[in-house]
Structure 1
Amino acid sequence: MCGLVPPLLIAAGIDRGVPAAGDGHWTPLIGFTAAALAAGLATATLKYCFLRYSGGIAQDLLFELRHRAFTHVMDQPLAFHESYPSGRVIARLSSDVESVEEMLEMGLDGLFSALFSMVGILAVMLWMDQPMAAAIIALFVPLYALTRWFRHRSRRSYRSTRTAVEGVVQHTVEVYNGIRAVQAFRREAANAARLRGLDARYAVARRDASWVSAAFSGGVKLLGNLSLAGLLTLGVFRIEQGALAIGTLTAFLLYVYRLYDPIDELASFADAFSAASAGLEKISALFMRHPAVAEPEHPVSLPAEPPGGRGAVRFEGVHFRYGEAGRPVLSGVDLALEPGRTVALVGTTGAGKSTIAKLVARLYDPTAGRVTLDGVDLSDLADTDLRGAVSVITQESFLFSGSVADNIALGRPDASRAEIRAAAEAVGAHGFISALPDGYDTDVHKRGTGLSAGQRQLIAMARVMLASPRVLILDEATSSMDTPSERAVHEALTRVLTDRTAVIIAHRLSTVAIADRVLVIEDGVVVEDGSPEQLLQAGGRFAGMQRGWLADTTA
């Protein structure tokens, strides 16, 4: 509000200070000048304080928004991540959050100062001269109509902008993640052409948004100039009638300039607000997705030493389908996996093997029935307890950027270096790790590209040894390896699987050979169940699969 004082002081200086100075009395003019300088200094100090503290509040809000959005995405079930493109998530956490950041950092100061200035200026104008103030207020009618038009058009334009930039980010991420396939099939030019098309769509959306913003800003400037001309004409007329002093007209003109400065700031804020609103709509849509695999309200702990040993898994009348309209994948599965035993799941593609493994890991919940671990329904376990009790090794074990030691300690970040080394020695990984340039401190880089498939799997098994879960799931863990690597991993498996319940999804005879029990799955139903020897003697489906494996091996 200190910014409202200088025009009043200028008016007083013209009407009272200048005539007094002409008579040799300079004190009033000097006093008005000093007061104007003090008001300017106070305005600058208050603005500095506001920007400093409002900037901190804005960063706290952005930090909380970004953190909540990321946490919400991480809490989503596997089905969400399989269907929701990663590029879209990145767009939500980057460009959409940045649009909110621009509004908070650039717009808050303009919004509050503009509102206070407009209210204060209009109040002072009404106090100084009601007819002149009424003329200014009348011009707010077309300004209101212009603002309504801008809000409608800008929101639509920025929605298109956010959608367009989402497409650019999503395509970029997909191409980068699949760069090997892109280069293998010489798709560089095709992907570049598609990106140009997406970029062109984004440019058109941005141009439309810029045109709307420019039209609004130009309209505000036009109204400001028209009001200034009208006010000057009215002021001169009232001065001729003796109803208005020259200093008062000068103050009015200065206030009009100051009035349309905050209106310009409001225009800038409205533009930033429209962009942020479009971004927040996208982020809100992300928050509307609720986890299908939710944390229990009252979690139950696993028994420390259950009767019969740790790691007993039971399927009780389990039915499952992917999505409400999906076809049934499992149909009334009743299954008991004994503690400490290794069970191999075999069958044709789409039979339901991976689905059983995903239900054991509670990546999904059954459509009907329940899955228990040591007598506790998986849906009653806290997520941290479940992840500590069940581990998964996939065909391509993911290694994060960082040291080998950090990757081994993924499930137990508090593990000591001695424990990490002991886990690596237990699976036979210590030898090649020691030969790395920095040993356990070697950075494996993105996805562990500097290591072979067998070495990555050995690190994954060391990770499991250190975490010591009750149940281990191996999803085709050796299917992409050559024979020497597969042999090394199988040797590690014999140590990893000791005294631990294991579920193996197998497409190789060598993997099935280490199992105590084999389940043949067809159309979501267990059609054969027994040890490998028993099923071979029965001469059923498993025996036929073995003959096919042997034929492929000798071919």
Structure 2
Amino acid sequence: MSATTLDHPTADDARERSREARRRSLVLLRSLLHPVRRPVWLTVALVVGSQVAAVSGPALVAYGIDHALPALVDGNSTPVLAVAATYLVIAVLGGVLVAATVRASARVSQAILLDLRRRVFRHTQRLSLEFHERYTSGRIISRQTSDLDAVRELLDGGVTTLAAGVLSMVLTAVSLAILDPRSGLVLLVAVVPGVLLSRWFQRRSRAQYRRNRTAAARVIVRFVETMTGIRAVQAFRREPQVQAAYDALSEQYRESSAGSIRLNGWFDSGLVLIGNVTVATVLLVGGLRALEGDLAVGVLAAAVLYARRFFSPLQQMAMFYNSFQSATAALEKVADLLAEEPSVPDPEHPVRLPHARGDVRFDGVTFGYGDGPTVLHRLDLHVPPGQTVALVGATGAGKSTVAKLLTRFYDVRTGAVTIDGVDVRDLDPVDLRRAVVMVTQEAYLFSGSVAANIALGRPGATRGEVEAAARAVGVHDLVASLPDGYDTEVDKRGVRLSAGQRQLVSFARAFLADPALLVLDEATSSLDVPGELLVQEGLGTLLADRTAVVIAHRLSTVMGADRVLVVEGGRVVEDGSPGDLVAAGGRFAALHEDWQRSLDRA
């Protein structure tokens, strides 16, 4: 196969991907319907009953005109009363069945949507960090919002409308064929252009509504990304450029939606035309036969009513076909998301490690992100229990990669990362998260109280344990000064606290979790000088009696470590205590000298 073929997928490849997407969406739909199969069959029965009741009306009209009215003229009112009473009973029964159909359909649709929403959220949480770093948050939000809303619009009445419409057309055609085969033949002939028009609409609308869903998703993604990065947008005065990009995407969405409306307009107009021509033909042919005495007047009236009724569902189906196409495209996207597999799967036979000591080894570890270049080159490293190791080096040297492998956010390409002799790929995920806690540069706080955010690492902790953790890292006085103390609510992302204050809260969270191994990835980079001085004492308490891997550019944090590793190009080029490395005059010594000069200038 040529490189061109690999780089530029053919039309056959696109069709195969489309077929695979439809297959996945159908599998997903079957799995959603299985738990509610009994309510679904009940809904089907109600739809059938309501349509049978509705289609019997014209037949009763024919009987009333051709038999009951002549009997009434002859002085026998019983047939007329019977027809009227039957018509009334069927009308009431039909209304009751329609109402029951709506209620049953709503119960089914809400059960399916609840199941689907839970699946998407649960699966998205289960996916590995690699997925979240390449799949933007805006796209995930689009799956949970606009795509699920499209499915909801279809389920909330759309499916029953389509089913009722198809059933109504079938029953109408059969009833008319039984009542008057010639009129049924006219209707059958009229079906041909209706089917051709529907196929034309189906082919074009499928592609059109996929474009709609894509355009809608792009608008949502752009909006979410802009609002997430609003500080950078305002700081660099990029509002006009961002607005222009958003306007362009919105214009694409408008054009796509307008195309859908035009397509639907052509379809709807064509159906109206075919329906009107069919009714006129039935009336003309039937009227001529009635004049000749070959067709009863009541049958002619019923034939006209059936002809009008036959094409009415098509117009309703055309209206809901838009929702059907939109929901189909949305369901395919959701199915694609649910088909994603974690790149870091849970072990088939997990090894328990309830009481980790924190003995860490990297044995010949080679790693690269995805299919990208190698980041770590056969790294060998041993960190004994209780030792604090600091990793320093230039940006991109591979320091944070070591932390991600240690916490098993990614898996190695070759070699092994072990804790207490157990490969992290075999370690029970619960025990791994209990043994290893990572504090990053971005201290994320969830909506809720300060106490709840500290207790995130140990939800069952008492208020006394929460306060003890805060005191240990030196953040108790700060929390106590807040309006409601530990019960103070923090807004989304903790915006009521400064970056340094949020970092202190995250230290208290890590201390309360009490891991055997603590990983600090640039955890002090957001602190100012007073904040850094405040947290140094807390760090001393936090790092005591546990294994720690500290990644930092600030040497104030590094100098307190037992051991320093200088990482360059994915390899450890220097290894020793801070004092020994300064005395050796190598790369770390140069970094130390630069740090000392910066302190002197300050």
Which residue of 311, 324, 338 corresponds with 2:358? 311
Partner of 1:445: 491
Distance 1:168 1:455 in 2: 35
Which residue of 412, 430, 433 corresponds with 1:384? 430
What SS is found at the alignment partner of 1:521?
strand
- Unmatched runs of 5 consecutive residues or more in structure 1: none
Distance 1:253 1:440 in 2: 76
Distance 1:465 1:395 in 2: 16
RMSD: 1.4
Contact 1:454 1:489 (8 Å CA) reproduced: no
Q: Post-superposition shift, 1:327?
A: 1.5
* Deviation string, structure 1 residues 103-141 (Cα, Å, up to 9, x no partner): 111312212211221221122112111111011011111
Q: Post-superposition shift, 1:431?
A: 1.3
* One-letter amino acid matched to 1:54: S
Contact 1:107 1:268 (8 Å CA) reproduced: no
Distance 1:419 1:303 in 2: 21
Q: Does 1:32 align with 2:79?
A: no
Which residues of 2 match residues 13-92 of structure 1 at below 5 A? Answer: 13-92=64-143
Partner of 2:25: none
Partner of 2:535: 489
Distance 1:385 1:53 in 2: 45
Partner of 1:217: 268
Partner of 2:513: 467
Partner of 2:196: 145
Contact 1:342 1:517 (8 Å CA) reproduced: yes
Which residue of 152, 157, 164 corresponds with 1:113? 164
What SS is found at the alignment partner of 2:104?
helix
* Deviation string, structure 1 residues 219-246 (Cα, Å, up to 9, x no partner): 1111110100010011012212322100
Distance 1:141 1:368 in 2: 64
Which residue of 541, 556, 574 corresponds with 1:510? 556
Q: Does 1:188 align with 2:234?
A: no
Q: Does 1:406 align with 2:452?
A: yes
Q: Does 1:296 align with 2:347?
A: yes
Q: Does 1:425 align with 2:463?
A: no
Q: Post-superposition shift, 1:266?
A: 2.4
Partner of 1:130: 181
Which residue of 346, 354, 358 corresponds with 2:400? 354
Contact 2:172 2:306 (8 Å CA) reproduced: yes
Contact 1:391 1:469 (8 Å CA) reproduced: yes
Which residue of 205, 208, 211 corresponds with 2:259? 208
Q: Does 1:260 align with 2:260?
A: no
Distance 1:244 1:116 in 2: 27
Distance 1:553 1:288 in 2: 53
What SS is found at the alignment partner of 2:346?
coil
Distance 1:192 1:521 in 2: 42
Contact 1:117 1:259 (8 Å CA) reproduced: yes
Distance 2:354 2:76 in 1: 95
* Deviation string, structure 1 residues 378-403 (Cα, Å, up to 9, x no partner): 11123332222211111121111111
Which residue of 267, 271, 291 corresponds with 1:240? 291
Residue-pair matches, total: 550
Q: What is the aligned-residue identity percentage? A: 48
Aligned structure 1 segments of 4 or more residues deviating by more than 6 angstroms: none
Contact 2:445 2:490 (8 Å CA) reproduced: yes
* One-letter amino acid matched to 2:405: L
Q: Post-superposition shift, 1:258?
A: 1.7
Q: Post-superposition shift, 1:143?
A: 1.1
Q: Does 1:501 align with 2:552?
A: no
Contact 2:109 2:152 (8 Å CA) reproduced: yes
Which of 411-420 and 333-342 deviates more? 411-420
Contact 2:500 2:526 (8 Å CA) reproduced: no
* Deviation string, structure 1 residues 419-467 (Cα, Å, up to 9, x no partner): 2222212222221111111111111101111112222111101111221
What SS is found at the alignment partner of 1:267?
helix
Distance 2:597 2:244 in 1: 46
Q: Does 1:476 align with 2:522?
A: yes
Distance 1:13 1:146 in 2: 36
What SS is found at the alignment partner of 1:413?
coil
Contact 2:69 2:80 (8 Å CA) reproduced: yes
Partner of 2:227: 176
What SS is found at the alignment partner of 2:520?
strand
What SS is found at the alignment partner of 1:380?
coil
What SS is found at the alignment partner of 2:391?
strand
* Deviation string, structure 1 residues 42-92 (Cα, Å, up to 9, x no partner): 111111111111111111111222222222222222222222211111112
What SS is found at the alignment partner of 2:162?
helix
Which residue of 411, 415, 421 corresponds with 1:365? 411
* One-letter amino acid matched to 2:215: A
Distance 1:523 1:510 in 2: 24
Partner of 1:536: 582
What SS is found at the alignment partner of 1:345?
strand
Which of 409-418 and 203-212 deviates more? 409-418
Q: Does 1:323 align with 2:323?
A: no
Distance 1:404 1:538 in 2: 46
Partner of 2:421: 375
Q: Post-superposition shift, 1:285?
A: 2.7
Partner of 2:439: 393
Q: Post-superposition shift, 1:270?
A: 2.3
Distance 2:79 2:430 in 1: 76
What SS is found at the alignment partner of 1:391?
strand
TM-score (ref. length: structure 1): 0.96
Contact 2:472 2:541 (8 Å CA) reproduced: yes
* One-letter amino acid matched to 1:132: S
Partner of 1:341: 387
Q: Post-superposition shift, 1:303?
A: 4.8
